[in-house]
Each structure stands twice: as C-alpha cells, then as structure tokens.
Chains A and B, each alone.
Chain A
Amino acid sequence: MRAQFVLSEIGVGLRRNLTMTFAVIVSVALSLGLFGASLLMSDQVDKMKGYWYDKVNVSIFFCNKNDAGSGTHCAKGAATEQQKNDIKAELNRLPLVQSVQYESSDAAYKHYKEQFGDTPVAGLVTPDQLPESFRVKLKDPTKFAVIKSAFSERPGVQEVQDQRGTVEPLFNLLDGMRIAALCVMMLMLVVALLLIVNTVRVSAFSRRRETGIMRLVGASSFYIQMPFIMEAAIAGLIGAVFACVLIVGGKYALINNWLAKKIQVVNFIGWDSVASVLPLVLLIGLLMPAIAAFFALRKYLKV
C-alpha cells in the first residue's frame, strides 16, 4: 500500500465534492454535538439524583391530637408511645433502612420557622399543629413503596410521605429534554448517513474511469475502496472535531457562565464528564461515516 498514492486520491476526492463534503461535515457535527449533549444531560441527571436522593427521606407522620374525630384512621387521636415504639423497632429491623430519626412537634416547628421565617403564614402555625414524625433514610431511595405499604395503614400513622416526589418532576423534565435531544440527533444522524451515501455515490461515479482501470489491472478491492472510505472518515472526523468544539463551548457558555451563577443548589457536571464524552464523539465521527461509505461502495462500486 503506497500511502502517498492513497493520500493524493483522497485529496482530489474531497476537493472534487467540496459542497457535499461540507454538508457531511455540518450534519455530522450537529448530530454528534447533540449526541454528546444528551450524554452529558443524562450525566447531569444522574449527578443530581445522587445528590438529592442522598438528602431526601421518607417521612412517617404520626397522628396529632387535633386529628381526633376527623374520620380518617387518625380518628382515635394522637398516636400512642406504644405505637411509635413498635414502628421504630420494626423500622430498625428492616435491612432496607439506613437510619431512623425522630422529629418531635417542637423540632418540626423549629424547622418550619427556619424555612418560612417571620412571614404571616408562619405566625398562624403552632407547634401542636405540626405532627411528630420519623425521618427514615433508606439505603436505596427508590424502594420507597416498601415502607409505604408496610406502615401507611398502621394505627397512629397519618401519612407516609416520600420527599422524592417533590424533586421527581424536575428529573422527568430533564429526562424528557434528553430524549428530545436524542430524537433530533437520530434525525440528524439519518441525514448525515444519507449525505455520506450520496457523496460516495457521486465520488464513485466521477472516478469510474480510474476504478475501472484499477479493477482491470488487478488492484485489490481494499486498494480501490480505501480512498473513498478514508474520504468519508476524514470528513466525519472533521465534523466530530466541530461537534467537540460545540460541546465544550456549550458547557462553558451554558453551565459555567450562566446556570452555575444562577442556581447554586444544583451540583453541575464538571469538565471530567465532558472529557469522557469527547473521545466517544470522535470515535463515532470517524467510524460511522467509514462504515456507511463501505456499505455504499458495495452498491455503487463494482469490484
């Protein structure tokens, strides 16, 4: 294999189809950019889930004395010490449970005060209106249903509440965005593949004299196909480099410069996540067009 010969063939091919090559580069850049973005987005969601799920508990609220006669299963009034102790002992026996913390009405009132401060709403609440509770931390936060089904019907229990429910909609939104990005990426990928196939077809047609002679004098099919495949791979790689620039630029502009300054409570992905995505983007940018070209050649280039 003479490298110089192949390289000059590739150069000629790329220049001959400049507009098509450009279209391939742009569509590969956009589709891979979106691909990288969606990967980073799922990274972000995982990171936030880890962060938030670590902080949220399952709360078992007990009946308050004010609930007496309210018609629910709290009709008997406040939960007894016996009931509370039974539940606590049972929770501690469950392998799923990491820790159980008791929160008295007074403590709940204090937290409430901290959260709402001296707003008018806070003034209306008294400690005895707030229920006592167990704050249960689970080893696996997704196993909430086990606790709920086990304790929500117990006498003295008012409600079993999963705090995860309050952050879930946010994650669903992010997941939805990620799926939307993946859909657009799929579409762009199909466009990119069709463009590559067409570019290869035009390229094979404009060089049919050369390839015909190559075939005749006994050039191997590898030698005949190589320039076309390399052409597609190089265009794809250039596209992938642009995609990397888009991803790095997007992360810098969107997260570092904007979101991180606006939202302090969220733990955003760092450059390490970005760095782990880039090689994948480059690899796909190199291989995907090459494979597409290979299959296109089987159709358009008789060997």
Chain B
Amino acid sequence: MIRFDNVSKTYPKQNRPALRDVSLEIERGEFIFLVGSSGSGKSTFLRLLLREERASHGAVHVLGKDLAKLSNWKLPQMRRQVGTIFQDFRLLPNKTVGQNVAFALEVIGKPRGQIRKTVPEVLELVGLGGKEDRMPGELSGGEQQRVAIARAFVNRPMLLIADEPTGNLDPQTSVGIMKLLDRINRTGTTVVMATHDQQIVDQMRKRVMELEKGRLVRDQSRGVYGYQH
C-alpha cells in the first residue's frame, strides 16, 4: 500500500533535512498513528504521500505506484483514491454541507444523477443525515470535521490521510471522530493519521510510528503515544 525506501527530503535553502533516511511499509487496511513533536517531519511525511512534495532521495510508493515516476497528468487520478482531512476542515463557507460534498464529485466530472444519490448516503454514514442544507458556519467543529470526512470518503478512497483531525476539537467530540475513522478503516480503507492526541493513541492501540528530527525512531504495532512519558 505504502512503501518508503530510504526516503530523505530536504527543502530548498535549508541545511537540515525534514526527513532523513526513512524506510517503512504499510499494508492495506492498516491504521497508523504518526506521532512526534512539531517539526519532527510528520507534515512532510504526509505531503510526500500526496506528492505535494517530491522526495530528495529514495523512493515513495503509494497505492503500488512510484510517485517519482508518476506524471503530472496522472497525479489527479491517484489523488482520487486518496482522501484527506485536516485540522482546519477546509470547507467552502459559501456552500451548504451537501454542496461541499458534491463539489468533490463535480470537479472530477461525476454525472449529476450519481452525485444526487451519493451525497445523502455518505452524509448519513458520517452521522449528518438531514443536515445537507445547513451552512458549515452553523455547525459545531465536530460536525464540520464530519463534513470534511464525508467529502474525503465520498470517492471510497483506498487511503485516508488525516493531519491532526482532532486538533481543534474537545476530547469528547474527538472520540466521536475517531470512532468514525475506525469505522472507515474497517471498510478496508488504510488510514494514516498524524496526531498530538495522547489519549486517543493510547486508547486505540494501533500501529504507532514516531518521528524525531526527521528520523523514524519507533515503529510499534498496538503502540502507545510514548514520548514525554
């Protein structure tokens, strides 16, 4: 599903690499927590997965493709199989909940009939049934994140990348979001989630990878948050 072979990433005009000689393999259907302090390379790791950045050294394979060899015009096809959610939700404030989810289908040219059928289904799945016509601003943070998850999941991606999805939410709401992500994981979607939320990592007991100054220092199945302990 995902394989890193001796991957390093150095940003232009910076001496210290953001990622240093990282090798790892993630199987289909796994749930990964990516932990580490700020600046440890988590974001760079996720950006490499999406090919927002290219590795300086080594090879990144995602969904069986070598991203270095993936041409620019095939990149959108690959991104359709990867869902992404963020700490700040990234919803369009002037579109309704339903339109926000539909937008993801419209811009990849899905027929309208299919959009009208799929959007309520996926909103039901994330627990927002009937809130289709609400504006994002009227919703709570947890609900907004559910809209973002619905948008990320509407194409039934093979891989879901989550960059601190609970970072802006209170613990109780976070638990709800994690349950949702867990459910999505059980449908077979691989989830890679960068997080600072110790409680969640310790509770879920999934595979944990820890980055420190760009190096992969721990890769532990059924792991705990670990550092600062």
Contact = CB atoms under 8 A, between A and B. Distances in A.
Interface stretch (A123-131, A157-165, A185-193, A212-220): A212-220
Interface stretch (B17-25, B105-113, B116-124, B187-195): B105-113
Contacts of A221: 72-73, 76
A268 interface: no
Nearest to B100: A213
B79 A217 contact: yes
A171 interface: no
B92 interface: yes
A261 to B, nearest CB: 59
Interface of A: 1-2, 5, 209-210, 212-221, 223-224, 303
Interface in B38-92: 50, 72-73, 76-82, 84, 90, 92
B92 A217 contact: no
Secondary structure dominating the interface of A: helix
A216 B76 contact: no
Interface residues of B, number: 23
A1 B151 CA distance: 19
Quick one: which of A1, A213, A214, A224 has the most chain B CB within 10 A?
Answer: A213
Contact of A2 (B50, B82, B106, B155): B106
A217 B79 CA distance: 6
B106 A216 contact: no
Interface of B: 50, 72-73, 76-82, 84, 90, 92, 103-104, 106-109, 112, 151-152, 155
B78 A218 contact: yes
A105 B128 CA distance: 108
A213 B103 contact: yes
A212 B109 contact: no
A219 B107 contact: yes
B79 A215 contact: yes
A218 B90 contact: no
Given A209-B92, A217-B80, A223 B107 contact: yes
Contact of B104 (A212, A217, A220, A303): A217
Given A5-B106, A209-B90, A223-B107, A216 B112 contact: no
Given A5-B106, A223-B108, A218 B84 contact: no
Nearest to A211: B107
A5 B76 contact: no
A212 B107 CA distance: 12
B112 to A, nearest CB: 7
Given A209-B90, A209-B92, A212-B90, A217 B155 contact: yes
A216 B79 contact: yes
A213 B109 contact: no
Contacts of A216: 50, 79, 84, 90
Given A216-B84, A217-B80, A218-B77, A1 B109 contact: yes
